Amino acid sequence: MQAPTLDAQKRRVEGGAPEDPSAMRGRCDIIRDMAEVQFPITVPRHCFQSEDARLKRIYEKVIAQERLDQSDALALYRTSDMLALGWLANHVRERMHGNVAYFNVNRHINYTNVCVAGCRLCAFGRKKGAPGSYTMSLEEAFKSAASGYTEAVTEFHIVGGLNPDLPLQYYLDLLSGLKERFPHVHLKAFTMVEIAFFAKLNKMSVRDVLLKLKAAGLDSMPGGGAEIFAKHVRAKICDNKIDGDEWLGVAREAHSLGIHSNATMLYGHIEGDEDRVDHLLKLRALQDETKGFQTFIGLSFHPEHTVLRHLPWTTGVLDLKQIAVARLVLDNFPHVKAYWQMLTPKIAQIALRFGADDIDGTVVEEKIYHDAGATTPQGLTRQDLIRLIEAAGRIPVERDTLYRPVTRSGSSVTVCV
């Protein structure tokens, strides 16, 4: 396998930006094939067993690689046979990714917490001028990008509140300034919610905003802000945000411009099983159309310091169930991530046998979950992530944002294609 330098690879990516959704899919297929050949499963396989008749029916479909429908998805959420559910999800996960588990070396940058949305689910957003509110100057953002971690990061994950005082030029300068200072680092920036807000504030179309951001250095987009698409739930947890159709519309537009994105779902608050299934099926339908989603990330609700603080925390069972159901229902998503910051490193390890093939990255500094009561570390080192994955019996593969394997020697970083 040839391993060009990151520079060479970067040129290739810019030259061949994935305008054509079928080209995006192609790359994932190649990675999957590589994983199966290079990293075959070595642990013994166990037979599927369940007393739950609904799971037996789903087992037949999973083995035949048939698409699961809404009633299957509900049955998966409602089963108490966690081991059988895990078996099914693990089967699909290993069929797609062999024994590999991905991680990356990234840094989060939350450029402002000033936000006009005032979502009940959120402990991060502040009103302008409120105690604890902040907006980074560009220089502060560049300094933050460079701080706190000694190994070369391959991704900046950039999100913030909906701050009406920031002009579009701020975001363009942020991206181009980061690209100038860190030319090898992939910029995964701005949720669908932020993009819709920039468009409205600047009286521009979503498409024009995306085109300008792309020209300034935007490489892909994170999956946040999707919450739960169901209107009756959204009205209670984030009524000032764009609705589900608008979120999907921005994602569709981004994908049509060759900008990949992730997708999330916030669970464990006031939603029901039907709402979760509805959300997953809507994501799956859009993915059929665009093939632009890379990774699904279920986000467990953290209630502390939010308006919904009276709600209990999610349980480990729901966390693992969510990973497994996502892997089984989202048959067209290449990756399912167990975000260790949110799940805890311990649950993330188990999730690698419940359908997840990725545990996210080093992160370095996390604000959204920590403001809402997370007790996980702010960041982990590359070595910590490798140890977690190996201890789970998987083979760690450092990836870049587009899931190309990364190798390191000394201080240089190489992307394999």
Question: Site for ligand V47 (CB under 6 A): which residue of 222, 244, 292, 334?
Answer: 222
The alpha helices in 153-272, defined as continuous H runs, are 168-181, 192-201, 206-216, 231-237, 244-256
Q: Is 321 in the site for ligand V47 (CB under 6 A)?
A: no
- Contact region with ligand V47 (CB under 6 A), list: 9-17, 133-141, 294-302, 402-410: 294-302
Query: Residue 284 corresponds to which tokens in the numbers above?
Result: 């799956």
Measured from the Cβ of residue 173, the count of other Cβ atoms closer than 10 Å reads: 14
Minimum CB separation of residue 233 from ligand V47 in Å reads 13
Per-position x/- string for 343-382, each x denoting binding to ligand V47 as judged by CB under 6 A, each - no binding: -----------------x-------x---x----------
Exactly one of 191, 290, 344, 362 binds ligand V47 (CB under 6 A); that residue is 191
Q: What is the dihedral of CA 181, 182, 188, 191, to 10 degrees?
A: -20
Distance CA 243, CA 43 (A): 44
Asked whether position 297 contacts ligand V47 by CB under 6 A, the answer is yes
Task: Name the segment binding ligand V47 (CB under 6 A); options: 15-23, 74-82, 117-125, 345-353.
Answer: 117-125
CA angle 105, 142, 154 (to 5 degrees): 20
Residue 372 makes CB contacts below 8 A (sequence gap 6+) with 122, 123, 124, 302, 303, 304, 305, 306
Contact flag: residue 126 with ligand V47 (CB under 6 A): no
In the complex, what is the shortest distance from the CB of residue 129 to ligand V47, in angstroms, rounded to a whole number? 21
Strands (E), 287-348: 293-300, 335-337
Part in contact with ligand V47 (CB under 6 A); list of ranges 61-69, 146-154, 219-227, 278-286: 219-227
Kindly tell me which of 62 and 122 has the beta carbon lying closer to ligand V47: 122
Least distance between ligand V47 and beta carbon 399 (Å):
12
Q: Does 185 bind ligand V47 (CB under 6 A)?
A: no
Which residues face 404 on adjacent strands? none
Helix (H, G, I), strand (E, B) or coil at 264: strand
Q: For 66, which DSSP code?
A: P
Least Å distance, CB 268 to ligand V47, is 8
Q: Say whether 209 sits in a helix, a strand or coil.
A: helix
Tell me if 262 sits within 8 A of 295, measured CB to CB.
Answer: yes
Regarding beta strands 406-409 and 412-415, do their DSSP bridges make them parallel or antiparallel, or are they unpaired?
antiparallel
Query: What is the 8-class DSSP label of residue 135?
Result: B
Of residues 72 and 319, the one with the C-beta less far from ligand V47: 319
Residues 309, 326: Cα–Cα separation, whole Å: 26
32, 126, 279, 302: which one binds ligand V47 (CB under 6 A): 302
As measured in angstroms, the least distance from the Cβ of 125 to ligand V47 is: 9
Q: Is 262 in the site for ligand V47 (CB under 6 A)?
A: yes
Angle between the 316-329 and 82-97 helix axes, to the nearest 10 degrees? 50
Q: Which stretch binds ligand V47 (CB under 6 A): 2-10, 54-62, 137-145, 258-266?
A: 258-266
Q: Which is nearer to ligand V47, 290 or 306 (CB)?
A: 306
Point out which span in 11-19, 73-81, 270-278, 295-303 binds ligand V47 (CB under 6 A). 295-303
Give whichever of 57 and 309 is closer to ligand V47, judged by the CB atom: 309
Give the three-class secondary structure for 188: strand
Residue 264 interacts with ligand V47 (CB under 6 A)?
yes
Compute how many other C-beta atoms are within 10 angstroms of the C-beta atom of residue 160.
27
Residue nearest to ligand V47 (CB): 224
Among 28, 62, 121, 230, binds ligand V47 (CB under 6 A): 121
* Sign (positive or negative) of CA dihedral 137, 139, 143, 146: positive
Q: Of 98, 223, 292, 334, which one interacts with ligand V47 (CB under 6 A)?
A: 223
Structure tokens at 27: 């790359």
State which of residues 72, 94, 219, 227 lies at the interface with ligand V47 (CB under 6 A): 227
For ligand V47, the closer of residues 373 and 393 by Cβ is 373
Q: Binding residue for ligand V47 (CB under 6 A) from 18, 98, 160, 225?
A: 225
Residue 195 CA to residue 95 CA, distance in Å, equals: 35
Where along the sequence are the contacts to ligand V47 (CB under 6 A)? 121-123, 191, 222-225, 227, 262, 264, 266, 297, 299, 301-302, 306, 339, 360, 368, 372
